[in-house]
Amino acid sequence: MNLVFEIAWTHVRTRARQTLVAIAGVATGVGFSIMMAALMEGSQDDFVKTLVNALPHISVSDERNRPTEQPAEQRYAAAEIHGLTPAVRRRGIKNPMATIAALEPWVPGALTPSVSAKGLLRYAGRDVAVSITGIEPRTEAKVSGLVTQMRQGTLDSLYRAPNALVLGDRLAEKLSAKVGATLTIVGSGNVRINGNVVGMFHSGMRQIDETNAYVLIKTAQIIENQTGLVNEIRVRLDDPMIARLVAARIGAETDYKSTSWEEAQEDLLSAFQVRNILMYTIVGAILLVASFGIYNIISTITHEKARDIAIMKSLGFRESAVRRIFVIESLLIGLAGAAFGWGLGYLLCVGLGSIEIRTPFADITRLPIAYTPRHYAIATLVALASAFVAGYFPARAAAGVHPVEIIRGAT
Amino acid sequence: MSEVLIEARNVTRILPGVVPTTLVQNVDLKIFPREFVAITGPSGSGKSSLLYLLGLLDLPTEGEVLIRGRSTANMAEEERARLRLASLGFVFQFHFLLPEFTLTENVALPMRALGELSPQEIRERAEGLLESLGLGEHRHKRPDQISGGQRQRVAVARALANEPPVVLADEPTGSLDSKSTEQVFSLLRSVVDDRGKTVVAVTHDLELANRMDRRVHIVDGRIVADDEVDRAA
């Protein structure tokens, strides 16, 4: 065994009680850091997964990337024109099927046309404003998780009744409507039609379950009072994480506003970033506190070992060798603490993951835990870095000891 | 003329402070092979300070120390440490053995730090040294399991581990009873006579000093007497 390592090992081994306390401090820090990271990331993953399943990965709307240029602006090179009535542009995506056909060859996923409408559902004397999406049930499974989110009825039921609707379960609850109920749909231009509830879905996102309804495309076109209207192309990607890039390219190629799920939920995702910064700050603080324990023990050892340091230096040990001894001691404690911390962290994760949580705001019945080696690696690296810093300063002080002063003091 | 092992040239050591203290003043001294030198003097006269300067444990404020003709004045700390490890052995009033290590491991320490021998050779030499000093049966014990005299003998064995030409001893018998003092003195004598080394020992025991080959007497940091043997003879 290397001499420096052997001396370091002997020091920590012969001070079992102090060493164990320091190891316990690091282990607690690492364990709780792992648990906290697993819990935070687990809940984030769970939320994002729900979000990704509930929404199209990319939504191409009929909004143009640039404001429509008015004919007067095209004709006259004037700086500003006032008082003109702008030309009215027909709503919807031009040639939607041709646009889809142009995108399909390179977009890694599935695309489907749909109609996005705003309306009012009226039932039993209650009016509820809703977002109505006109879909094609046969291709819907390729672009959303709606098929798997059906709690009552099926999407194909939309074909079986005139102006059929599938409602979010919370929306149905709000309206007190059940499957089979006939309700009034009020669309733009005061269009009023009666529709039958043929199914209910549950996405897990309260906002969606409370405000969304699905109908056939042609029903949505009636509600929007425009035949042949397609004002949204919804895209589901094989890898939702590339949505932002694909959305940018679709936007550039079609000149229609193309929004990825990440952009649509930017506020939420930014909040996650803030939360992650907060989490890693707390994790760092926990490990920093643990490193004070290491600093304490290494300082104590260097103090107790002043004579040994003096004699080693008088024998001819280099300062760097003396410094290495105490840094190695610190790292040994850090490593042992990290190893025990892994076990503690894993057990805490398993324990927390088994706790059932019931909340009126979400469906999660168990705390979502993310098991990833990354958390263990980060906690270990931070613990070792803290251990190194905690050991380095007493080690440097020990290495700088003038042997003559200690020897004189001893004699 | 024999080779000079250690030479102090006009060495002065002043301890800085509010009131600077002069420990050693304008000392010229040459140490030759196979000498048994006593440095004597009253308490606080600068005996130990001179020994630390000769042993490169301390740096002179003025003057220089040469080891085998090589000046150490501009040497880096690392280089001085290496020179100390290879060329000088130390024995102090207190044994300063590492308490967690066995006697063999303590004796092996300088050899392992020097790193010139294999682990097998180091173990054999350490055990051989302990055996030759009558401590073979205790080699697996720790320092707290043997007597004070035995510990000091282990310290001598450790000083001899790298076969340095010079052993510097600071009051090596200062904390021992008369029986142990005699044992350690005999050991140091044999280090000179049988092993051909030089021993420079600081002592306040004039009876012991008179049994050595050369006596350097210091008062107030200056050498006032140096009863040198005739090296040319």
Contact at CB, A408 and B110, closer than 8 angstroms:
no
- What pLDDT is recorded for position B231? 36
Which range has the worst mean pLDDT, A57-66, A161-170, A347-356?
A57-66
B92–A contact, CB cutoff 8 A: yes
Q: Given B83, B86, B94, which is nearest A411 (Cβ)?
A: B94
Contact at CB, B96 and A410, closer than 8 angstroms:
yes
| Structural domain boundaries in chain B | 34-44+77-227
- What pLDDT is recorded for position B233? 42
Q: CA of A308 to nearest chain B CA: how many angstroms apart? A: 6
B204–A contact, CB cutoff 8 A: no
- What pLDDT is recorded for position A203? 85
Integer Cα distance of A96 and A230 in angstroms: 7
- What pLDDT is recorded for position B232? 44
Kindly tell me if the per-residue pLDDT of A139 is higher than 90: no
Taking alpha carbons only, the member of A307, A317, A401 closest to residue B92 is A307
Kindly tell me if the per-residue pLDDT of A68 is higher than 70: no
Better-predicted residue by pLDDT, A358 or B104: B104
Q: CA of B81 to nearest chain A CA: how many angstroms apart? A: 4
Question: DSSP string covering B143-172, please?
Answer: GGGS-HHHHHHHHHHHHHTT--SEEEEEST
Contacts of A410 in chain B (CB under 8 A): 92-94, 96
B48–A contact, CB cutoff 8 A: yes
- What pLDDT is recorded for position B205? 85
Token pair listed for B71: 């000046």
Regions of chain B where pLDDT drops below 50: 229-233
Contact between A22 and A193 under an 8 Å Cβ cutoff? The reply is no
Chain A with chain B: Cβ pairs closer than 8 A: 75
Question: Is A282 exposed, middle or buried (CB count within 10 Å of its CB: 0-12, 13-18, 19+)?
Answer: middle
ipTM of the predicted structure? 0.81
Q: Which residue of A has its CA nearest to B15?
A: A405
Q: CA of B169 to nearest chain A CA: how many angstroms apart? A: 12
Per residue in B125-162, pLDDT tens?
Answer: 999 889 888 888 999 999 999 988 889 889 988 988 89
- Please tell me the number of Cα atoms within 13 Å of B115 on its side-chain side: 10
Q: CA of A4 to nearest chain B CA: how many angstroms apart? A: 9
Kindly tell me if the per-residue pLDDT of A235 is higher than 70: yes
Contact at CB, B110 and A313, closer than 8 angstroms:
no
CB atoms within 10 A of CB A182: 13
Indicate the pairing of strand B70-71 with strand B62-67. antiparallel
- What pLDDT is recorded for position B104? 94
Kindly tell me if the per-residue pLDDT of A411 is higher than 70: no
Q: CA of A298 to nearest chain B CA: how many angstroms apart? A: 17
Q: Which residue of A has its CA nearest to B80?
A: A316
Taking alpha carbons only, the member of A180, A227, A178, A169 closest to residue A203 is A169
Contact between A401 and A303 under an 8 Å Cβ cutoff? The reply is no
Better-predicted residue by pLDDT, A358 or A147: A147
Per residue in A2-39, pLDDT tens?
Answer: 888 988 898 888 888 888 888 888 898 889 889 988 98
Percent of chain A with pLDDT over 70: 94
Per residue in A89-130, pLDDT tens?
Answer: 678 888 888 999 999 999 999 999 999 888 999 998 889 999
| Confidence band, pLDDT 50/70/90 cuts, at residue A40 | confident
B109–A contact, CB cutoff 8 A: yes
B57–A contact, CB cutoff 8 A: yes
User: Could you tell me the fold of the domain covering B34-44+77-227?
Assistant: Rossmann fold (3.40.50)
Best of A315, A317, A408 to disrupt the B interface (most B CBs within 10 Å) is A315
The average pLDDT across A43-60 equals 81
* Beta strands in A178-296, from DSSP E residues, in sequence order: 182-186, 192-201, 212-216, 232-237, 256-260
Q: Is A328 helix (H, G, I), strand (E, B) or coil?
A: helix
Average per-residue pLDDT for chain A:
85
3-state helix, strand, coil in chain A (%, to 5): 60, 20, 25
Question: DSSP string covering A115-177, please?
Answer: EEEEEEEEETTEEEEEEEEEE-HHHHHHH-SHHHHEEES-GGGGGTSTTEEEEEHHHHHHHT-
Q: Which residue of B has its CA nearest to A4?
A: B113
- What pLDDT is recorded for position B230? 45
Per residue in A262-298, pLDDT tens?
Answer: 888 888 788 888 888 888 888 788 878 777 877 877 7
Q: Which residue of B has its CA nearest to A319?
A: B78
A234–B contact, CB cutoff 8 A: no
Q: Which residues contact A300 (CB under 8 A, 6 or more apart)?
A: A18
Q: Given A307, A310, A316, which is nearest B113 (Cβ)?
A: A316
Tell me which amino acid residue A369 is. I
The average pLDDT across A366-376 equals 88
User: What are the two backbone dihedrals, phi and then psi, of residue B15, each rounded to the nearest 5 degrees?
Assistant: -85, 120
A405–B contact, CB cutoff 8 A: no
Contact at CB, B171 and A404, closer than 8 angstroms:
no
Q: Which residue of B has its CA nearest to A311?
A: B96
Q: CA of A303 to nearest chain B CA: how many angstroms apart? A: 15
Q: Given B52, B94, B110, which is nearest A315 (Cβ)?
A: B110
Task: Give the pTM.
Answer: 0.69
